[in-house]
Amino acid sequence: MVVGIFLGSLLGTMALGMPIAFALILSGVALMIHMDLFDGQIVAQTVLQGADSFTLIAVPFFMLAGEIMNQGGLSKRIVDLAVALVGHRRGGLGFVCILAACVLSSLSGSAVADAAALAALLMPMMIKSGHDPAQSGGLIASSAIIGPIIPPSIGFILYGVVGGVSITKLFLAGIAPGLMIGAALCITWLIVIRKQTFELPVRASGPERRHALASSLWALMLPVIIIFGLKFGIFTPTEAGVVAAVYSLFVAMVVYRELTPRMLFGVFAAAAKTTAVVMFLVAAASVSAWLITVADLPGAMVAMLEPLMDNQTLLLLAIMVLIVAVGTAMDMTPTILILTPVLIPVIKEAGIDPVYFGVLFIINNSIGLITPPVGTVLNVVCGVGRIPMEKLIRGVWPFMVAQLIVLMLLVFFPALVTVPAAFFSGR
């Protein structure tokens, strides 16, 4: 009954077109009324306390870092370096997209920011070279969702805060799976273009490659600084956000000089707007999360999944299918905020490592960013690349299948996550 009231009120308000943040609050209020616990003061206090977290300060700083990199020339220089290294090969611009996405993901942690940058910089080049616009857009969208997987990751921050899981361990555990997804996209791209003919860019000369490397070196240092600092405990994930924002601001204004003081207001305003959306969702979800705990929804979920508790693989498969289904109708942030407090007790009861599960959970949610009809990244690529949605969906599905295959491999072979995670964390 409690589950039905929660889901019914949440899905019903969303179906009426209500913003997800308000739908979350109302679904929590519906539970409070059902349990005879309604108190407006408790709702207000819970909303305020939901956003009152030191760890969540990392979110606005990583958002700001992403905006600075796109406006200040860091993203462009990463793409230029990738073009100089592999752009001349058959399908080279596709490899440029994947390589640049892996590097950009280690800078911003936002799939939307990476998708906007890659679509703006690479889409015209790929179409001019003769690549199919739908396949090019599909690859760009699929590559952009590596952003929430390779650290730093806003998705990992939200999951870690809500689930009480070490964000540093999540960051380090996401490196290898993110690179595996990049490799899977490379293989899929080769298969997709095997029968196509197109114009190859001119191979960059030795001096041009060295110039591209020297120009991008400042941008490439940021992921090294962040991973080094996290691995050796020099700073926390929250402090890493500050380091990323300050470093990218310094490089954009002092080294590259593409970000002028006059542009700063627009950059800060764009980051503030995006942060406000995320933080309001976090605050609103805290009401539902509190009621989920009070109503013992995790206990009900454990009882429902009792037959699968003895088989971790089957349990994970069932949960992954659930998340894929939810991802087609809901964006990444609310999915994390709603499902994490429900699923964490389930996976702990089954003896599954929360860090390992967190990696699978975020990968699955990232794939949801390119599943229609809600896929946020799809909408970004459609807008920036001016591609009709139906064509982009046709172009994205081969890459989505490849990512789902990687996800299934990680489910069946946990060592693909746990062994590299132990190596990067020094255990």
pLDDT at residue 151, rounded to an integer: 84
pLDDT value at 213 more than 80? yes
For residue 314, how many other CB atoms are within 10 A of its CB? 14
Q: Pick from 128-132, 229-233, 309-313, 355-359 the range whose average pLDDT is largest.
A: 355-359
pLDDT > 90 fraction of the chain, expressed in percent and rounded: 22
pLDDT at residue 3, rounded to an integer: 64
Local structure of residue 256 (DSSP, 8 states): S
Residue 12, CB half-sphere, CA atoms under 13 Å: how many? 10
What is the C-alpha to C-alpha distance for residues 112 and 91, in angstroms, rounded to an integer?
24
What is the C-alpha to C-alpha distance for residues 231 and 217, in angstroms, rounded to an integer?
21
What is the C-alpha to C-alpha distance for residues 320 and 326, in angstroms, rounded to an integer?
10
pLDDT at residue 200, rounded to an integer: 67
Residue 15, class by beta-carbon neighbours within 10 Å (0-12 exposed, 13-18 middle, 19+ buried)? exposed
User: What b/e sequence results for 102-113 when a residue is b if at least 16 CB atoms lie within 10 Å of its CB, and e otherwise?
Assistant: bbbbbbbbbbbb
**Tokens (6 digits) for 409:** 């491999």
What is the C-alpha to C-alpha distance for residues 133 and 314, in angstroms, rounded to an integer?
39
pLDDT > 70 fraction of the chain, expressed in percent and rounded: 96
**Mean pLDDT of all residues belonging to the chain:** 84
For residue 281, how many other CB atoms are within 10 A of its CB? 23
pLDDT at residue 170, rounded to an integer: 92
For 31, 65, 70, 204, 353, the CA distances from 73, given in Å and listed in that order, are: 49, 12, 6, 20, 39
Q: Given pLDDT bands bounded at 50, 70 and 90, which one contains residue 105?
A: confident
pLDDT at residue 374, rounded to an integer: 65
pLDDT at residue 46, rounded to an integer: 80
pLDDT at residue 199, rounded to an integer: 67
pLDDT at residue 183, rounded to an integer: 94
pLDDT value at 99 more than 90? no
Q: Pick from 95-104, 192-201, 383-392, 396-405 the range whose average pLDDT is largest.
A: 396-405
pLDDT value at 109 more than 70? no
What is the C-alpha to C-alpha distance for residues 339 and 309, in angstroms, rounded to an integer?
18
Backbone φ and ψ for 328, nearest 5 degrees, come out as -75, -20
pLDDT at residue 142, rounded to an integer: 93
pLDDT at residue 426, rounded to an integer: 63
74-80 average pLDDT score: 84
**Chain centroid offset of residue 363 CA:** 8
For the chain, give every domain's residue range.
54-279+297-425
The CA-based dihedral angle spanning residues 73, 75, 78, 83, taken in that order and rounded to the nearest 10 degrees: -100
Residues 6+ away with beta carbon under 8 Å from 365: 148, 155, 323, 327, 332, 335, 336
Place of tokens 């590259």: 256
Which pLDDT tens digit goes with each residue over 151-160?
888 889 999 9
Asked if 341 and 163 touch (Cβ cutoff 8 Å), the reply is yes
pLDDT value at 412 more than 90? yes
Which pLDDT tens digit goes with each residue over 247-274?
999 999 999 899 999 999 999 998 888 8
Cα angle value 29/278/122 (rounded, 5°): 145
Place of tokens 């220089």: 77
pLDDT at residue 111, rounded to an integer: 82
**Chain centroid offset of residue 141 CA:** 12
pLDDT at residue 182, rounded to an integer: 93
388-392 average pLDDT score: 86
pLDDT at residue 397, rounded to an integer: 92
Which pLDDT tens digit goes with each residue over 297-348?
667 777 777 778 788 999 999 899 888 888 877 778 888 888 888 889 889 8
